Structures are given as C-alpha cells and as structure tokens.
Amino acid sequence: MATYIVRRLLWMIVLLLVISFLTFLIFQKLPSADPVSLRAGRNATPELRASIKHTFGLDKPFFEQYRIYLAKLVPFDFHKGFKPPDFGYSYQNNVSVKSQILDRLPATAGLSLGGVVVWLLIGIPVGIISAIRRGKLSDRLAMGGALVAISAPVYWLGLVMLYLFSNDIGRIKIFEGAGSYPNTGSLFSDPFSVAPSLFLPWIVLATAFAAIYARFLRGNLLEVMAEDYIRTARAKGLRERTVIFRHGVRSAITPIVTILGLDLGILLGGAILTETVFNIPGIGRLAFDSIQKSDLPTVQGTVIMGAFFIIALNLIVDVLYAFLDPRVRY
Amino acid sequence: MSTPLIEVRDLVKHFPIRKGIVIQHQVGAVQAVDGVSFDINEGETLGLVGESGCGKSTTARLITRLLEPTSGEIIYNGVDIANANRRSLLPLRREMQMIFQDPYSSLNPRKTVGSIIGEPFEIHGIERDKEKRRRLVQELMEQVGLNPEHYNRLPHEFSGGQRQRIGVARAIALKPKLIVADEPVSALDVSIQAQILNLLRDLQRELGLTIVFIAHDLSVVRHMCDRIAVMYLGKIVELADADQLYDHPRHPYSGALLSAVPVPDPRLAREKQRQVLTGDVPSPTNPPNACRFHTRCPKFVAGHCDVEEPLLEAKQGGNVAACHYPLTDEEIASRVPTAAA
Amino acid sequence: MSLLEVDDLRVHFHTDDGIVKAVDGVSYRVERGQALGIVGESGSGKSVSSLTVMGLTRFFKSARISGSIRFDGKELLTASDEEMRRIRGNEIAMIFQDPLSSLHPFYRIGKQLVEAIQSHRDVSRAQALDRAVEMLGLVGIPEPRKRVDAYPHEFSGGMRQRVMIAMALANDPKLLIADEPTTALDVTVQAQILDLIQRLQSELDTAIVMITHDLGVVAEVTDEIAVMYAGEIVEHASKDTIFASPEHPYTWGLLRSIPRLDLPRGEELVPISGRPPSLINTPGGCYFHPRCPYVREAHRVTHPGLDPVPDDAEHTVRCLLASDTRRRLWRELQEGKDPEQARTAVGIDAEEVAP
C-alpha cells in the first residue's frame, strides 16, 4: 500500500507538470489573448507596449518563459530548499494569484462540501427506496423526477429558483437571493451568517447530482440484491432490513465513493455556473472572469489548483476503496 | 508406430508478479507450467488431467501458441514454433484449432452462426465466393448435428449444447490436423455431454484428427483418451495409456484423484476406503521443494521426497511417473476401488 | 410424522414470456436423520423446490406457490414471513454451490458466522464467537481462533465451503439442504467435503437433502433418491434400487450416458436424444415423451402419475409403460444393447409419434 501511494504521488507531480505546460502552451498561443493590451489600455504607444512586454518577460522565447514560470511554481528551490509556490501575479490588477485563489477557496469549499452533504442526504435514500420498491409508483416517480433533474441545466435551474424563492426578487420569499454571500467570512469561520446564503446554491447544485447518485445507487443495489451472498443472508434467517442494508447497500455503496471523490474534486476546482448565478466569490467565478479578460496567470493558477484537487481526491478515494473492499490489494 | 505430431520439450510458462514504485521489477512468478515434456502422436487422443492450478489449460494455450512460452520447445512438423512470430504462425492456425469450455461466452453474440463458422474461410482466404462458402458452412452445420437452415440465427437462440456444436464446427472448418479441446463438456448438462463427446469421437474418425483433451472429470477423460498425462502444480506427474493409468496408477496423486471420484455404484461406495488427501493445493507462486506433491503425499519420506526431485521415469506396468515411492499393487487395490483387481 | 413432508408442491413463475412451471406437482418425505438425494439437470426444478422449502421463493414477485410443505408438523407455505425467517438458518439450513460468491466479500467470516448465530440465539457476541470458532474446528479449519478474522477471498474453495457448512450447522438445524455443494470444487476437495457432510450427518443426526446432477455423489451420501425432470419427480426409490433396478427411461438415460470408472473402457455412451424441455410449453402427456426411445402414441396425451411398482411400495415411477415391460427393457440395456435394440428385443415396435 505504501509503495502504491508513493507511486501515485509521483504520478501526481508528473501530471501537474504536464498540465501546467499544456495550459501555458494553449494560452500563449491563443490569438485572442493579449495581456499587453490589458495592461497598456487603449491608445498605448508602441514604446509603452514594448516596455510592458519586457516587464512581463513576454519578449523572451517560449520555453524560457515557461522555465521561469515553472521555477516560481515548483515549491522547491535547489538553493533555498522548500519554498512556497508562486503562481505569479494577475495581469489585470497585479494581485498575487495565489492569494486570490486562497481567498476564494473557502467560498468554493463551502459551496461544494455543503452541496455534497445535501445531495448525499437526498440521493442515497431515494436510490435505496427506489430499488426496494422497484417497479412501483414511487420508484417510477423518483426515477422520472431524477431524469428531469439531470436534464435541467444548472444555470436555468438557478435562475428559476431565484425567481421563485429568493427573498429579494422571488415570488415566495424564503431563501436568500443572489449576491447575499458576504464579502468577508466564510462557511467555516462564520457558519450561521454565511449558511443561509448558501441554501439555494446548495439545492441547485445538489439537484442534478442527487438525481445521478440516486439512479446509480438504484442500479447498483438492484444488481447486488441478485447476488448469491444475498441469498445466503436470507437463508441464514436474517431480518430483511439487515439483508438490504448490511449486506446489500454496503456492497452497492462502494462505487459511489469513487465517483464522489471525482465529483468533489471537480467542484473544488470551481463550480463555475452555480457561482456565477448566485454571485458567490469562489474559484469558479475567478476562473470565469480571468478567462474573459485573458488574465493568463490567474487562469493558469485556477487550472492547476483544479487539477491538483481532482488528482488528490482521486488518490484519496482509491486508497479509501482498499479499506472498503478487502479484496483490493495494491 | 505413429509419429509425433507435436513434440513438447521442457515447456515453461511463468507469469511474472511485479512490484515497485516507479520501475516495476519482478519479485516472483506464478509458475503455471514448469518444465513439461511430452509427445502428441498423430491420430491419438491425449488427455491432460488435473485440478485447478495444475497448468493444463495453460499448456493447451501454449501448444496452440495462444500464449508464448517463457522457455522450451514446441516442435511441430520438425519446426520449433515456441517463439514463432504471428506471420509464420498464421498458416499453422489452419492445422491447429481449439474448442473452449464455455459455450455461452466463447461465441461472439453479435455474429450470426453462419458468419462464425465461416470466419476461418475468410481469414485464410479460402473460398471467396459467398454462395460456395455458405454451402460449405451449411455442410459443416449438418456434420455437427445442427440444422443448416439456422444459418442466420444468433448464438443466444441456441442451447448450450448446440452452441458447443457451433464451436466444434468452427474448429473443424478448415480440416485441421490437431484439435485442442479445453474442458469442452464441463459447462453442459449431463445428458448433453454424451452427445458432444460422441460427436467428437465420430469427427475424429471421419477426419483423422489428433485431439488433446483437457478436463478435470476423470471419467470423461478415461472414456475419450488413449493416453493421459496427469498434471500437478505445473508438472506432469504421470503419463500412461488410459487402461494402465486407471487400473494401475503409480503416482500417489493419480491414485488419490481416482480414489476421490464418486462412482455411481452404491456397493462400491460402501466398500471402498477412500484415499482422502489432506490440505489444499499449494500456491503455484511458491511450490514445494523437490517433489511438489510431497506436502500432501501419503507416501512421503522425509529427507528424500523434499530434497531430491523425482524424474519422470518408467515404472512397473509401463506408466511413466515422477515418484520415488510409486504405489504398489496392494495399495492400489485397497485405495482405488475402481481399479481392476 | 416425517420431519419434512412435501405434498403436490407447485411453483409457477409468471413471466412476460409465459408461465414457467418450474415445479409442477412434487411430493416427498424426509425422515429425521435421513439423507434424500434429488437428482436432475438444469431446469428440472430441483433447486427451486428446495428454495421453496426454505421460503426463499417468496422473494420472487412473479412466483405462485401452491401445495403443502409441512416441517415438524408446521405448515410452511402459510406461515408468516417472520415465522419463516425464524426457521431459516435455524431449524432448516441451506448451503449453495459457489462458496466464493455465497459469502459476503466485505465481511470477515467470523462476523458472518456470528450474525447467523445471533439472529436466532440470544447470546452475547463473545459467546457467539466462541460457537463460531467451535464450528470452524468441527468442519476441519485449522487454527480456527485465528482464521475467524479472515475474509472469504483469503480461503481456498474447499475451505470456503467448509465455512458455509459451519455457518449452516451453527444453530443445530434439523434439516440441511445442500444444493450442488461440491460442483464448483476440485475432485479431491469434493471428496473431503462429502466425507465431512457424511461425518457430520451421523454425528449430529441431521437430515440432509442433497441436490446434485452427479449420480456418483448421491451413490455415496444418500439413503433415498428422487429423480426430477421438467418440474416433476419421475422416479423415487431407495439408493440401491435406483442403481440396481431403475424403472424410468430418463433414469436409464442418465445412468447410461455418463462415462463410468467402474465399467470397462470403450463402452459406448448412449446419450439421451433431444434437448431439455421448455418449462413454459411443457410437452403434452408425459413430459419426457419427446426424448423417450420407447414412446407410444398414448404417451403424447396421457400424463402419468407417480405410482409404486408392484412389489415395492417405496419405489415409485412416473411412466405409462407397464412395470414388467420396463424391467425387461432394463435387463436388455444392462446387457449392452442400445435403446433401439432393447425395444425390439422386448417386442415393442417403434411407433411414429407426431411431435
């Protein structure tokens, strides 16, 4: 197991390097991105543009630029030992990219983790009950509803929810509206004042995921209940409830752990649509804004952060799997 | 005197077990087949018998070159094909064919029966004319006992026994010299098994086939085969004519196998004193020293069996067995109830 | 009163393709401490009938069950779900064919054993664990106190089946049903397990129903044998009688079509012609008639009952041929004739029977 983890960590480093290179390449070569104009503004003289270009090091050859970037990014320096990673500075406002990301991380984390809790609380019971009552009306309604929930685009659903329920413009004013997320404080530092502004976003985010997980769990559970060991459990004279939960659900839920890790990793990289609709200052919003403004360092920073979360969570989930399924040996 | 169709010499197949952080190095191996030598004579039916993990299926796949051996020789028609590349193997595939165990998974469910049986013709570029090929395929279907009108049906429309017949038809399509049948009847109901076994026997007579027959069911093997090799943990422990093996097994493992088979005769069942082996088959990654059977052998002699590996040598009665202390006639009589007195 | 009395049991599954008559009128008795073998191929109904005794068929929504199953005097088919649950794994236990897939892969075997015990006995976990260790020792698992913490995949096939047996016998059932317990095992391991079952049966005086397709297995372990075909019992007799003087063409077919170590090599196998019947569209009249070499026109129409033979009330056969004819046929078959020859020798002419 230890060698497995070490191997996966080494691969993580390799992957992050590749991703950093690819994003660097893509955004350098994109014709529409022109950071010089961003800083220089309109009516810039050629001398000003050249001077800005030089300041940013944009007149250096491509690989030289990348090397400089990488040297700052990697948290290790041959002379000084370990050092904090430097993601560069935003072209737009010269703020350190790293500080921007870290500032916005709690918002994204609050949204994502809360969303996960909500969708698990809804999705898992619905999935289990649908499987148990397979074919009955409750099952058909649940799966039909799930299909609608999955099909509804997040931004549409978000806007509809705001229209109906937000306390500023909604018809039934019960939830906090968009723009209610406080500028200071996060779910972790100030749960009671921040949480209400996250209720609607959580519901919107959770809807599609809950539906997916319910359908997935239902399918898994139906398959598992046809396995031989369920027959043995019944033959032993166990209560049906024990058979379903301790034997059936226990088996059916392990693949859910895997996809949960993946989904959480993606969300931590920024739930762009939800954050935009509800005006939550998270990493997703940051990425969206900086792409629009061709703010290359920030974009790169968010991409690498996102990649890091996905890879890290994947690793955590794979290791967790070995504890859930004793047959898995790394 | 029949000439050997295939000579197998010191065939070895190890499946490596790798561990490592970045660079994986081999830490051990599953010694599936560990030095096996035998001849397959033209026209005979040779049986390979043993329990799980003995290497019989791996040996079958090595002979037909579905796997490449780790070392050793497989001499077919005077040429060693052990390391031959795909191109030089292609013409040989017309002459060596395999029939597999599970009729439910060994046929492509999306292909019609006609195209499954006709595929060998396509691959080897024989009979490009579609009409003529169809007629050839339908003849084959009749030959194996299928209704030629079912040419366009899909595998799932057939029963297990019929699907196995499809597999047989495909295997004999190009009139091969050798058929390797890997547990061809194990997945079938008892009343169908006899049909397929009889079919194989009839086809062997009609087409002059040489058959290598792999099975774990000793009664079936005895019925079908002329000579039988008993395998244990990757090695051949006994090789003998069928009558000799079943009447006078010399290797204690062969004796135990025969003793273990439940016989449909209550009187025999009551009278016999079965030889029950203790323990489980050891792992092929870490086989016992010297004689691999010594950990479970009722005739184990410490200091000899676990130190010096016995070689395959002729024993009393003509059987070839790898054992320092083969079974005596008295031991056979008391432990193997079905042996001739 | 017999321990188990099954009377005219019928289990029909209502599917989209039609009604599958998996069990269609099965009756038998099992006495205390006795061993009954049920022999049949796939589709014969042997497994479904036993699953119904356990009450496990109730979990199939499409099943319609009728008839009577009385265990120790109690009628099981009308028992409540909770009453059946209390009997399963307690007074009647069952072991299945594939021990790897029959044990939950995520739980240690100790836990699975303790679960079986605590479902029916009011004991502490420690007491249940002691009993589990005791059972593992009884079935021959070495170092049971240590092995109790192992997972199913850490055992070999034979050991896993022993664990299943230990689990089944943990609550001292009066009846053990074994559904193809050795089919998935190597032959030397099969011998060990059969030995174990026989030993436990005599030590614990448990009644056994052994379901298998292997005539060799029933020859060793049973006292009586019932042969099933297409959801019915076609022959039922003591073990010795079934092997020495069977009277149903299907039984003859089974005995003649398997290669046997105790008969000379090279004896031709005589297969049973045709294929197993559809359970949705069962053949008219005698279910075996499409495959029977001795079929007469009447057999297409009349469905035979399970009747005793003239001089042995314990030997019942479901066949329209006269017992006398059957005995002569069997004698001819035993002399090595094939069915056609036997039929001629006995003097029945072949009748063309339209399908």
Query: What tokens does A309 get?
Result: 């979360």
d(CA A124, CA C132): 34
Chain A neighbors of C173, CB-CB under 8 A: none
Q: Phi and psi at residue C176, in whole multiples of 5°?
A: -115, 125
Q: Give the N- to C-terminal CA distance of chain A in Å, as an integer.
A: 5
d(CA A270, CA A283): 5
Comparing alpha-carbon positions, the chain B residue that sits nearest to C263 is B338
Q: Looking at A38-47, B244-253, C104-113, C330-339, which range is the least confident one?
A: A38-47
Is C308 part of a structural domain of the chain? Answer: yes
Is B308 part of a structural domain of the chain? Answer: yes
Q: How many helices (H) and strands (E) does chain B have?
A: 11, 12
d(CA B82, CA C296): 59
* Residue A76 pLDDT grade (very low, low, confident, very high; cuts 50, 70, 90): confident
* Residue B340 pLDDT grade (very low, low, confident, very high; cuts 50, 70, 90): low
Query: Residue A241: is it exposed, middle or buried by C-beta count within 10 angstroms (0-12/13-18/19+)?
Result: exposed
Nearest CB among C105, C106, C115 relative to A236 is that of C115
Question: Nearest CA to CA, how far is C170 from chain B (Å)?
Answer: 23
The pLDDT assigned to A47 comes to 84
Chain B neighbors of C257, CB-CB under 8 A: 190-191, 193-194
A3–B19 CB contact, under 8 Å: yes
* Residue A90 pLDDT grade (very low, low, confident, very high; cuts 50, 70, 90): confident
Contact C257, C271 (CB under 8 A): yes
Nearest CB among B190, B218, B281 relative to C41 is that of B190
d(CA C355, CA C342): 23
Query: B32: how many CB neighbours lie within 10 A of its CB?
Result: 24
Q: For every residue of B217-259, which 3-state class applies, written as one string? A: CHHHHHHHCCEEEEEECCEEEEEEEHHHHHHCCCCHHHHHHHH
Query: A115: how many CB neighbours lie within 10 A of its CB?
Result: 25
Q: Looking at A79-93, A148-162, B284-298, which range is the least confident one?
A: A79-93
Chain A neighbors of C87, CB-CB under 8 A: 237
d(CA C49, CA C46): 6
Q: Phi and psi at residue C92, in whole multiples of 5°?
A: -120, 130
C119–A235 CB contact, under 8 Å: no
C213–B262 CB contact, under 8 Å: no
Instruction: Count the domains in chain C.
Output: 1
Beta-sheet pairing, C232-238 with C312-317: antiparallel
Note whether A7 contacts B: Cβ–Cβ < 8 A: yes
Chain A neighbors of B25, CB-CB under 8 A: none
ipTM of the complex: 0.89
The whole domain housing B282 covers 233-341
Chain C neighbors of A238, CB-CB under 8 A: 85, 89, 115-116, 119
Name every residue whose Cβ is closer than 8 Å to that of residue A55 and which is 6 or more positions away in sequence: none
C258–B264 CB contact, under 8 Å: yes
Is C207 part of a structural domain of the chain? Answer: no
Q: A15-29, A49-63, C124-138 — which one is most confidently predicted on average?
A: C124-138
Is B291 part of a structural domain of the chain? Answer: yes
Comparing alpha-carbon positions, the chain A residue that sits nearest to B18 is A330
d(CA C219, CA C215): 6
Is C198 part of a structural domain of the chain? Answer: no
Chain B neighbors of A7, CB-CB under 8 A: 21-22
Chain A neighbors of C54, CB-CB under 8 A: 235
Over residues C150-164, the mean pLDDT reads: 92
Subunit partners of chain C (3 or more CB pairs within 8 A):
A, B
The pLDDT assigned to C101 comes to 92
The pLDDT assigned to C351 comes to 67
C119–A229 CB contact, under 8 Å: no
d(CA C193, CA C60): 31
Over residues B293-317, the mean pLDDT reads: 88
Over residues A256-263, the mean pLDDT reads: 92
Over residues A130-142, the mean pLDDT reads: 92
Contact B279, B295 (CB under 8 A): yes
Q: A168-172, B50-54, C69-73 — which one is most confidently predicted on average?
A: C69-73
Note whether A6 contacts B: Cβ–Cβ < 8 A: yes
* pLDDT digit string, tens, across residues B157-180: 888 889 999 999 999 999 999 999
- pLDDT of B341 strictly over 50: no
Query: What tokens does B112 get?
Result: 């019609």
| B79-80 β-sheet, strand order | B25-41, B4-19, B71-76, B79-80
Is C355 part of a structural domain of the chain? Answer: no
- Under an 8 Å CB criterion, which residues of A touch C? 227-229, 231-240, 242, 247, 250-251, 254, 324-327
Q: Phi and psi at residue B312, in whole multiples of 5°?
A: -70, 110
Question: Nearest CA to CA, how far is A268 from chain B (Å)?
Answer: 29
C262–B223 CB contact, under 8 Å: no
Query: Residue A141: is it exposed, middle or buried by C-beta count within 10 angstroms (0-12/13-18/19+)?
Result: exposed
Is B18 part of a structural domain of the chain? Answer: no
Q: How distant is the alpha carbon of residue C124 from its chain centre?
A: 36
Nearest CB among C187, C195, C260 relative to B264 is that of C260
A3–B22 CB contact, under 8 Å: no
Question: Nearest CA to CA, how far is C220 from chain B (Å)?
Answer: 5
- pLDDT of C180 strictly over 60: yes
d(CA A88, CA B105): 57
* pLDDT digit string, tens, across residues C234-254: 999 999 999 999 999 999 999
Half-sphere exposure of C77 (CA within 13 A, CB side): 19
- pLDDT of A27 strictly over 80: no
Question: Nearest CA to CA, how far is C109 from chain A (Å)?
Answer: 12
* Residue A177 pLDDT grade (very low, low, confident, very high; cuts 50, 70, 90): confident
CB-defined contacts A:B, below 8 A: 8
B274–C270 CB contact, under 8 Å: no
* Residue A108 pLDDT grade (very low, low, confident, very high; cuts 50, 70, 90): very high
Instruction: Count the domains in chain B.
Output: 1
For chain A, the C-alpha Rg in angstroms (whole number) is 24
Nearest CB among A232, A237, A240 relative to C103 is that of A232
Nearest CB among A227, A229, A236 relative to C88 is that of A236
Chain A neighbors of B21, CB-CB under 8 A: 3, 6-7, 10
- pLDDT of B105 strictly over 60: yes
* Residue A52 pLDDT grade (very low, low, confident, very high; cuts 50, 70, 90): confident
Closest CA relative to residue B180, chosen from B341, B48, B2: B48
Give all domains of chain A, ordered by start, each with its CATH number: 2-82 (no CATH), 98-324 (1.10.3720.10)
d(CA C191, CA B12): 31
Question: Nearest CA to CA, how far is B281 from chain A (Å)?
Answer: 21
- pLDDT of B336 strictly over 50: yes
Beta-sheet pairing, B227-232 with B45-49: parallel
Chain A neighbors of C101, CB-CB under 8 A: 227-229
Chain B neighbors of A6, CB-CB under 8 A: 21
Q: Phi and psi at residue C193, in whole multiples of 5°?
A: -70, -40
* pLDDT digit string, tens, across residues C247-290: 999 999 999 888 888 788 777 788 888 888 889 988 889 999 99
* pLDDT digit string, tens, across residues A218-230: 999 999 999 999 9
Cα–Cα–Cα angle for C228, C233, C238, rounded to 5 degrees: 90
Is C330 part of a structural domain of the chain? Answer: yes
B258–C271 CB contact, under 8 Å: no
Query: What tokens does B200 get?
Result: 């194989």
Q: Give the N- to C-terminal CA distance of chain C in Å, as an integer.
A: 44
The whole domain housing C275 covers 247-346
Type of residue at A298: T
B264–C215 CB contact, under 8 Å: yes
A237–C86 CB contact, under 8 Å: yes
B276–C195 CB contact, under 8 Å: yes
- Under an 8 Å CB criterion, which residues of B touch A? 19-22
The pLDDT assigned to A31 comes to 64
Average pLDDT of every residue of chain C: 91
Is B176 part of a structural domain of the chain? Answer: no
C272–B52 CB contact, under 8 Å: no
- pLDDT of A32 strictly over 80: no
Token pair 């019960």 in the structure block, residue: A174
In Å, how far are A222, A259, A296, A305 from A308, measured between CA atoms?
Answer: 35, 17, 18, 5
In Å, how far are B259, C228, C348 from C272, measured between CA atoms?
Answer: 28, 15, 19
pTM of the model: 0.88
Best interface-test mutation with C: which of B191, B230, B247 has the largest number of C CBs within 10 A? B191
Is C141 part of a structural domain of the chain? Answer: no
Name every residue whose Cβ is closer than 8 Å to that of residue A64 and which is 6 or more positions away in sequence: none
Chain C neighbors of A247, CB-CB under 8 A: 104
A229–C89 CB contact, under 8 Å: no
